[in-house]
């Protein structure tokens, strides 16, 4: 809702739409139970989170990997996060039991690259990365649009010197992703990996600050036609998240998430610090998906899983509104 209001204000400023609405900030939850007198989820400074992983989740146009091995009754996967502020450590421990396809290959039917982000059409003998979604739309970043064409230009992180000429900003809910090193399991589908990060500065496998990702219109003339945007090349370390921000995201009701992606090895430079959108196991905290259910990636509603097979998630619906002409 906040992004819609910001969009209305921005369009008014450019003369496209002369209507605005007041913004009522949503109060932030603290995560502290006044009844139990404790943090019900994720205690501050030191604790342990366990996240069961499932298959079938993903965003529009992503390849949802549901291979027979991943759907078998024996397949299990989970991630444990152990954090300790005094020791300045965050340990991410992932276990896959008969669950991880070994050197999987996949070819898309179409190229889903955009003018902003390139994606591989094919992966051969792929390996895996885990994605630590430290903040799940719990903050906003500015995206710049051209004031003449109303086309998207890019994210504020890509313009450290200030906004580009003839541009105006729109604040958009954003997620912050940190990738693990590439890994693979055994041919039988088992894998055990452990990665240690700093509590005060969570860096990705390249020593960068991860990436921002958001869903937004590429063209404000079609404000309801969304696509994905990733900041390319990795964020500077000064923008790296810390684990206190992860805890705040959980306490405020946004949560955090873990996802896995099938990656070419070596990764091409255009995928530095961001994922190939071929998605395997994933899960969230504190909310997790019960076995046998999946989530409709457009409506967000729970659905009973009736089939299991690798497929491409449907895209967002095309625009209903054309604000710049017939």
> Diameter of the chain by CA atoms?
61
Per-domain boundaries in the chain: 60-312
Strands 127-146 and 256-263: antiparallel
Band the pLDDT of 306: cuts 50, 70, 90.
confident
* pLDDT beyond 50 at 1: no
pLDDT confidence of residue 322: 77
Residues 18-49 as b/e (b if ≥16 CB within 10 A, e otherwise) read eeeeeeeeeeeeebeeeeeeebebbeeeebeb
Band the pLDDT of 56: cuts 50, 70, 90.
confident
Which residue has 């860096």 as its token pair? 203
173-223 pLDDT, tens per residue?
A: 999 999 999 999 999 999 999 999 999 999 999 999 999 999 999 999 998
pLDDT confidence of residue 26: 63
Cβ contacts of 140 within 8 Å, gap of 6 or more? 2, 171, 172, 173, 174
Strand partners, 167: 146
Q: How far is CA 142 from CA 124, 162, 172, in A?
A: 36, 11, 6
Using left for φ > 0, alpha for ψ between -120 and 50, and beta otherwise, residue 247 falls in alpha
Higher pLDDT, 116 or 15: 116
- Would you say 64 and 262 are in contact if contact means Cβ atoms under 8 Å apart? no
What's the mean pLDDT in 46-71?
Answer: 93
| Distance, CA of 314 to CA of 297 (rounded, Å) | 8
pLDDT confidence of residue 165: 96
The pTM of the full predicted model, rounded to 2 decimals, is 0.88
Share of the chain above pLDDT 70, in %: 90
Which residue has 């989170």 as its token pair? 49
Please say whether the dihedral angle defined by the alpha carbons of residues 206, 208, 210 and 216, taken in this order, is positive or negative. negative
Band the pLDDT of 25: cuts 50, 70, 90.
low
- Would you say 50 and 92 are in contact if contact means Cβ atoms under 8 Å apart? no
Share of the chain above pLDDT 90, in %: 74
Q: Give 233's Cβ-side CA count (13 Å radius).
A: 6
Band the pLDDT of 27: cuts 50, 70, 90.
low
* pLDDT beyond 60 at 20: no
Q: Record the tokens describing residue 200, joined without a space.
A: 């005060």
What's the mean pLDDT in 257-280?
Answer: 97
């Amino acid at each position: 809702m906040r992004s819609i209001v910001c969009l209305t204000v921005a369009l008014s400023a450019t003369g496209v739409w002369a209507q605005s609405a007041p913004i009522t900030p949503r109060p932030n939850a603290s995560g502290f139970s006044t009844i139990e007198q404790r943090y019900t989820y994720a205690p501050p400074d030191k604790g342990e989170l366990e996240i069961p992983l499932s298959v079938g989740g993903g965003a529009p146009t992503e390849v949802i990997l549901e291979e027979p091995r991943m759907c078998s009754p024996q397949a299990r996967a989970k991630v444990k996060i152990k954090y300790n502020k005094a020791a300045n450590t965050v340990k991410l421990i992932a276990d896959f039991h008969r669950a991880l396809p070994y050197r999987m290959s996949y070819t898309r039917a179409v190229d889903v690259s955009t003018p902003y982000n390139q994606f591989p059409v094919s992966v051969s003998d792929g390996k895996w990365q885990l994605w630590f979604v430290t903040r799940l739309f719990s903050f906003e970043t500015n995206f710049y649009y051209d004031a003449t064409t109303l086309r998207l230009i890019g994210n504020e992180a890509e313009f450290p010197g200030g906004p580009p000429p003839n541009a105006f900003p729109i604040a958009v809910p954003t997620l912050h992703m940190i990738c693990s090193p590439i890994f693979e399991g055994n041919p039988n589908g088992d894998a055990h990996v452990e990665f240690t990060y700093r509590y005060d500065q969570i860096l990705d496998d390249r020593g960068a600050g991860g990436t921002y990702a958001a869903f937004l219109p590429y063209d404000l003339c079609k404000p309801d036609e969304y696509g994905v945007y990733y900041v390319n090349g990795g964020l500077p370390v000064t923008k790296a998240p810390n684990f206190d921000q992860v805890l705040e995201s959980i306490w405020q009701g946004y949560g955090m998430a873990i996802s896995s992606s099938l990656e070419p090895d070596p990764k091409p430079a255009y995928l530095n610090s961001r994922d190939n959108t071929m998605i395997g196991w994933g899960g969230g905290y504190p909310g997790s998906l019960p076995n046998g259910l999946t989530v409709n990636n457009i409506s967000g509603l729970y659905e009973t899983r009736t089939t299991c097979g690798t497929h491409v998630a449907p895209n967002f619906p095309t625009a209903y509104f054309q604000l710049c002409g017939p």
